[in-house]
Structure 1
Amino acid sequence: MALMVMKMTMSDTVKGSFATCDKAKDFLEDVGTKFKESEKAEMGDMMTTLTTLKLDENESVREYILKLIETIAKLRELDVPIGDAFIVHMALNSLPPKFNQLKIS
């Protein structure tokens, strides 16, 4: 009965990506496996964003730092260990040359 309720609440697109199971426990294990695969892809996207994030000349430094903090928070939710020293290093190195005085300080 539980399996039937779970399948009825899913859209056909999502439902089709799982193997047919006879037990709700097996179905939940399949869902958990798919979620882990999705989590790894999200982690890769967040790491790419973190390493390629640059300050746009049209945005404020505050907005840039908030984007950086948001990306780091998402990575920490995914249990990616990121040290504070690395974060500061990434933030300072991604600033444009007009912030060289700040980098020296």
Structure 2
Amino acid sequence: MTSLLASLMSMKYKGRGNVREYIMKMYQIASKLKALKIELSEDLLVLMVLVSLPAHFNQFKVNYNCQREKWTLNELISHCVQGEERLKQDKTESAHLASASKDKGKKRKHENEAAKGLVQKKQHKEPTGCFFCGKTGHVKKECTKYHAWRAKKWLPELPKAK
């Protein structure tokens, strides 16, 4: 009795085989328990089946819980089979294709070297001159013309005397 009850309570549908056979196995265990004078109601058995279904049946479970009427075991089987068929149709099989070019990675190696070269050029780039006046020998922050322009721009003009 305890082993039958434990096996019924621990059953989980793993997606192998079809769901009808799985539910029928649960029903057979429940009928064996009934022969041992432990009777499970059909509503309880339906709920145990629903609980044991995997996550991809979650939408199906929600639909059942939203309805006012309770299903019989036969109705549950037919709805589960329909849901399983729908899931199989929705499930798209896909393959990820990988292609190799004829140069077998030479392009990638070249791209990596080019990227490293750009990084090195950026790191070792020395200033070529002032960005403000364009003359060499100093940079913008040291440029006297830049400082004069900035002071003129930011200082308010004083009213001219007549």
Give the superposition deviation at 1:79.
Answer: 0.7
Q: What are the within-5 Å matches in structure 2 for residues 1-105 of structure 1?
A: 43-105=1-63
Q: Deviations over 1:31-59 (max 9, x none)?
A: xxxxxxxxxxxx11110111001112222
- Aligned-pair identity (%): 35
Moved over 2 A (4+): none
Greater relative CO, 1 or 2 (CA 8 Å, sep 6+): 1
Point out where structure 2 has 5 or more consecutive residues left out of the alignment.
Answer: 64-162
Amino acid at match of 2:8: L
Q: Determine the C-alpha separation between the residues in 2 that align with 1:91 and 1:46.
A: 15
Q: Determine the C-alpha separation between the residues in 2 that align with 1:85 and 1:65.
A: 14
Paired residues, what number?
Answer: 63
Amino acid at match of 2:30: I
- SS in structure 2 at match of 1:58: coil
Q: Which has the higher helix share?
A: 1
- SS in structure 2 at match of 1:57: coil
Q: Determine the C-alpha separation between the residues in 2 that align with 1:91 and 1:67.
A: 10
Alignment-derived partner of residue 31 in structure 1: none
> Is this contact kept in 1: 2:23–2:49, CA < 8 A?
yes
Q: Determine the C-alpha separation between the residues in 1 that align with 2:44 and 2:38.
A: 13
Give the superposition deviation at 1:93.
Answer: 0.6
RMSD, aligned CA = 1.0
Normalising by structure 1, report the TM-score. Answer: 0.56
